[in-house]
Structure 1
Amino acid sequence: MKTTIHRRAGLCLALGLLAGAALPSGAQSASAYPQRPIKLVVSSAAGGGADTVARLIALKLADAFKQPVVVENKPGASGTLAATTVLGAPADGYTLLFGITTMAQLPAVTQTPLPFNTERDFIPVSLVAKSRNVLFASKKTQAKTVPELIAALNAQTLSYGSWGNGSTGHFMGDLFARQTRTQPTHVPYKGAAPMMNDLLGGTIDFAFPDIGSAQPHLKSDRIQLLAVTGDKRLTSLPEVPTMDELGVKGFDFGGWFALFAPKGTPSSVVETLSTQVAAAVEDREVHARLLAMDMDPVGNSGKEFARFLHEDLGRWARMAKESDIKAD
């Protein structure tokens, strides 16, 4: 009798091992995801708006998963460096991309083929937040209003900074030049933080940083806040006019921050991440912090983000064609 029991147990064990071996490796790991630290690769420098938002989400994911969530900054090449870093890692949910608007802009402005296709090679996990931009001028320009900045641009050659060729800051600077019929020089940086440092130091004359990067400097006496983008004034800056109010039209667009996984990541892992990112955005502390940064919290599903991304890719393609903006 004992022998029969042992044989049956052995047969069950063998069948169980065979069934486990037949499952894809991703399915096995996804069932207990995550089992080790997760890395969020951020496509901009430390200290900028994307980095700030990424670290907020990373802290909440770490609490939810009971695993460390590490933020790694990979600025450069308008986000391409971060994107290729993530694509070069295993598609197991442990290396993710915290991307920005350049994921939709790059296909529209890059002259040579990109090493990735945004929709084909990445899985949209969740759109975390949307942001608006502000117009800052350095004290060197002596401009305290948008009309004064335009006058300074007509009197001399000034420069504006952005966080990379084909970035939102580049589009806004170009649009401003076309709308005001001026010819400022574009100076691209590897992130919003170094751009802000040079703006504060007077190396460049004006810029359109996202509100997250601008937040620490809104009350600075080293630069002048002239206007905000969007269709209405910011609640925290009711005295600052919009570009539209000042007669400079077309500034109704902004940036966004989102989480992507590389293609091939198990669907159960993506769903888990999407659910937890949404929960993180809805968290009272995170939600309040995003609002305090004048951002619009989103935290949607992967399918909702995929639809948004598809529409945004089309919009930037149209804008790039109108502005004739090309990345290096």
Structure 2
Amino acid sequence: MVKNTMQWLKKCGISACLSGMMLTAAHASSAPLEFIVPYPPGGASDIIVRALAPHLSKATGRNVVVTNRGGANTAIAAMQLARSAPDGNTIMLADVALALNSVVRKQSPGYDVEKDFTPIIQIGSAPLVLFTASTSHSDLPSFLEKGRKEELHISNAGPGSLGHLAAELLRLRSGLNIVSVPYRGSGPALNETLGGQVDAIFTSTATGMPLVENKQLNALAVADDKKVDKYPDIPTFDSFDIQGVKAINWWGLIAPAGLDQATVKQLAEAVRTAMAEPELKQRFDALGINPTLNEGDAFAAMIRQELDQWERVVKEADIQMD
């Protein structure tokens, strides 16, 4: 009798455990998916996430909640993500700032790029382009000619931004006397370029090309080793014997470290499905972003390559930031 009772209790215990596990799994799969934007509303990252969210919701069957957490050049959002549970309920759209924060500052940004996150899938990339006011330089040769005689001032959105490092990279590779001029955000940096207070700015085609069409800016060169498909008339720096000027923004989904591979693959596949939607393709085209789907290890390798490149530039340019 005692033996039978014990066997019955064990079976009940096992059943309870299994039921609990099934309920937990069901909760995890039905729980809202928080999608963090590490910037305030309105920018490219915010547009990407809000365009992607409904398609991701459709592909996963989950409610996707978009949360904006701007500040410290994406570091605040990244730190919060790093401290989140690796349960598949929280992801973030990272960009190149995730890597730059780690290489331009003396102190840690509050996270380790390679240890604190799980790369899910890269979704796009876009090179910066050097623009000048239309009343300034009509092409790169005239810009370079001025730089051989006097200082060139290139504005950027702030110290440690991709535009800042792109200008420093151009200085190193061209030998020109280039002075990087930081502003508090891309808006003021662009306005100063339009007004002729500075010589040029590195920014995206989505920002610069509408102003080229309005005859307010001129596009001088793309910071990549290949041309932009949509704008084949913009030359590369390589075509003017200035080698190695490559400054590319990228976007990709990351999660906290320790996320299981089954969930990683599920989320990556959901993104692939979403990215096949014509609406998303149109959004990316309007933003000047090339869809680039690199999953898991390939995405991690790209981030490592970015860290290596910008660490070399920061060291060579002797950039020191607190």
Please tell me the TM-score bracket, short chain as reference. Answer: 0.7 to 0.9
1:59 aligns with 2:61: no
Task: Report the number of matched residues.
Answer: 316
1:100 aligns with 2:99: no
Please show how residues 205-220 of structure 1 align to structure 2 within 5 Å. Answer: 205-214=199-208, 216-220=210-214
1:110 aligns with 2:109: no
Deviation at 1:13, TM superposition (A): 4.9
Please show how residues 33-182 of structure 1 align to structure 2 within 5 Å. Answer: 33-139=28-134, 142-151=136-145, 159-178=153-172, 179-182=174-177
Q: Separation in 2 of the partners of 1:29 and 1:213?
A: 46
User: Which one of the candidate residues 220, 223, 227 is aligned to 2:217?
Assistant: 223
1:322 aligns with 2:321: no
SS at match of 1:54: helix
SS at match of 1:118: coil
1:169-216 CA-to-partner distances (Å, cap 9, x unmatched) read 1211112233242132321545x4664455456665422113344455
Q: Separation in 1 of the partners of 2:169 and 2:158?
A: 16
Normalising by structure 2, what TM-score?
0.82
Contact 1:200 1:223 in 2 (8 A): yes
User: Which one of the candidate residues 227, 231, 236 is aligned to 2:230?
Assistant: 236
CA separation of 1:188/1:92 partners in 2, compared to 1, >3 Å: closer, same or farther? farther
Deviation at 1:142, TM superposition (A): 1.9
Q: Separation in 2 of the partners of 1:248 and 1:51?
A: 34
Q: Separation in 1 of the partners of 2:188 and 2:33?
A: 27
Contact 1:130 1:295 in 2 (8 A): yes
Could you tell me which residue of structure 1 aligns to residue 251 of structure 2?
257
Q: Separation in 1 of the partners of 2:301 and 2:120?
A: 12
Deviation at 1:149, TM superposition (A): 3.1
Deviation at 1:79, TM superposition (A): 2.1
Deviation at 1:30, TM superposition (A): 4.9
SS at match of 1:245: helix
Gaps of 5+ in 1: none
Deviation at 1:259, TM superposition (A): 0.7
Deviation at 1:80, TM superposition (A): 1.0
Could you tell me which residue of structure 1 aligns to residue 304 of structure 2?
310
User: Which one of the candidate residues 293, 298, 303 is aligned to 1:299?
Assistant: 293
- RMSD, aligned α-carbons: 3.2
Q: Separation in 2 of the partners of 1:68 and 1:195?
A: 38
Deviation at 1:31, TM superposition (A): 5.0
Aligned-partner residue type, residue 276 of structure 1: A
Deviation at 1:105, TM superposition (A): 2.5
Contact 2:167 2:202 in 1 (8 A): yes
Aligned-partner residue type, residue 304 of structure 2: H
SS at match of 1:311: helix
Deviation at 1:152, TM superposition (A): 5.1
CA separation of 1:131/1:185 partners in 2, compared to 1, >3 Å: closer, same or farther? closer
Contact 2:128 2:202 in 1 (8 A): yes
Gaps of 5+ in 2: none
Contact 1:78 1:164 in 2 (8 A): no
Q: Identical aligned pairs, as a percentage?
A: 26
SS at match of 1:97: strand
CA separation of 1:215/1:58 partners in 2, compared to 1, >3 Å: closer, same or farther? farther
Q: Separation in 2 of the partners of 1:130 and 1:67?
A: 27
* Farther off after superposition, 147-156 or 123-132: 147-156
Aligned-partner residue type, residue 104 of structure 2: V
Contact 1:43 1:73 in 2 (8 A): yes
SS at match of 2:312: helix
User: Which one of the candidate residues 183, 186, 194 is aligned to 2:181?
Assistant: 186
Contact 1:100 1:258 in 2 (8 A): yes
CA separation of 1:286/1:320 partners in 2, compared to 1, >3 Å: closer, same or farther? same
Normalising by structure 1, what TM-score?
0.81
Aligned-partner residue type, residue 100 of structure 1: D
